[in-house]
A = this chain, B = another copy of it.
């Protein structure tokens, strides 16, 4: 890699940030608004075969439970196209049909009343077919997402060799032009790449060039952890600049994980609020409790919290409550026991083995105080329970 330049950046101190969004048109995908100040919508894509309607609907329901707001399904063939009617009828979420090359599949999707098409008109050779699809989409109020992926663009656009980001933008603009010339402007656009700097440059340029809401994503980003990191690296830079109105985290994983990752990202940037926000300190040579399994158990058991709540799991009883004073409720480990606290104030001390139950009971109390149903009876079980061994085998009194 080249040596970097070092400069006096002279940056403005608080450039943009989570409360300022780029102005854009608004597009509706079913009942979900995209753009023009709407909350950033989270979407995912089914990994099922679309013509296996039962499996697809089951997956859509799992995605919706995790918070997903829009779901895409692949339509690679007539059999999938024929299944769309039933998928749309039974789906709890707005459905996007992903179509390449074949305008007849797009017409089938429109017949099925899908809520959005993902389709690049430039990929469809039958131009009369394109006109028919766009006319029908306009009549039905169905938006179209233009989706440019760096991996699938030709080396040259319009005969010119441009830099990679510009080639993505140029291709997106040429696809948009096809729709605009047919008087269609119910458009969402994406310019995804695996390489984050390329993707950031493309979205920044596109944001200046068009009035449409942008769908952010990093393609082929990988497995759960590395893919979440790569997706977050690319999208957080843009989102923090006010760019992006709907996101998909693409992972080689159960798509439910994509939805969780998307909300973790949006919650981190304070762009959305939802369920559990876990504050957990790294275990270190100061921790008085076996923190790692405790944090994992807390995350699993509290994942389905019905209201936004910040919950802390801290390693030491002395500093933990104060350091996590912003948390609504939390636990902090001592030697073989731990403190339960609210907004930094200790409200009880419990043996380590009872700490998680005490936390759940306190959360129930908070919910009831706020007129909500208690949660603990509905909390998912943890798969990490066996890992929670009492203490770290440090004899009491040796940590002075």
A residues sitting closer than 8 Å to B (CB atoms) are 1-11, 13-24, 36-37, 45-50, 73-74, 76-77, 79-80, 98, 149, 151-152, 194-197, 200-201, 204-205, 207-208, 219-230, 232-234, 236-237, 240-243, 250-255, 257-258, 260-261, 264-265, 268-270, 272-273, 278-287, 291-292, 295-296, 299, 312-314, 319, 322-326, 392, 394, 399-400
A324 and B223: CB pair below 8 A?
Answer: no
With the chains together, A284 CA to B50 CA distance in Å?
Answer: 10
Residues of chain B lying within 8 A (CB to CB) of residue A204? 11, 13-15
A7 and B23: CB pair below 8 A?
Answer: yes
Given A23-B8, A229-B228, A264-B226, answer yes or no on A197-B17 (Cβ-Cβ < 8 Å): yes
Residues of chain B lying within 8 A (CB to CB) of residue A253? 282-283, 292
> 14 A–B contact pairs at CB < 8 A?
A1-B272, A6-B20, A17-B197, A45-B282, A46-B284, A76-B286, A195-B326, A197-B269, A220-B314, A220-B323, A220-B324, A229-B264, A237-B237, A237-B240
Residues of chain B lying within 8 A (CB to CB) of residue A326? 151, 194-195
Which among B230, B236, B278, B282 is the interface contact of A226 at CB below 8 angstroms?
B278
Most B Cβ at <10 Å: residue of A5, A195, A226: A226
Least distance between A39 CB and chain B CB atoms (Å): 8
A200 and B240: CB pair below 8 A?
Answer: yes
Copies of this chain present in the complex amount to 2
Given A4-B21, A152-B323, A270-B197, answer yes or no on A261-B225 (Cβ-Cβ < 8 Å): yes
B77 and A399: CB pair below 8 A?
Answer: yes
With the chains together, A330 CA to B98 CA distance in Å?
Answer: 25
With the chains together, A2 CA to B313 CA distance in Å?
Answer: 28
Q: Report the 9 A-B pairs with minimum CB-CB distance, sorted nearest first.
A: A151-B323, A74-B285, A252-B295, A233-B268, A232-B232, A252-B280, A229-B264, A250-B282, A233-B236
Which among B36, B286, B299, B322 is the interface contact of A152 at CB below 8 angstroms?
B322
Residues of chain B lying within 8 A (CB to CB) of residue A77? 399-400
Which among B195, B225, B264 is the interface contact of A270 at CB below 8 angstroms?
B195
Residues of chain B lying within 8 A (CB to CB) of residue A205? 13
Which among B6, B14, B48 is the interface contact of A24 at CB below 8 angstroms?
B6
Least distance between A327 CB and chain B CB atoms (Å): 9
Given A36-B6, A225-B261, A270-B195, answer yes or no on A252-B292 (Cβ-Cβ < 8 Å): yes
A9 and B37: CB pair below 8 A?
Answer: no
A279 and B80: CB pair below 8 A?
Answer: no
A228 and B230: CB pair below 8 A?
Answer: no
Other than the known A8-B23, A225-B261, A252-B296, what 6 A-B pairs have Cβ atoms closer than 8 Å?
A: A13-B201, A73-B285, A228-B229, A252-B283, A253-B292, A254-B292
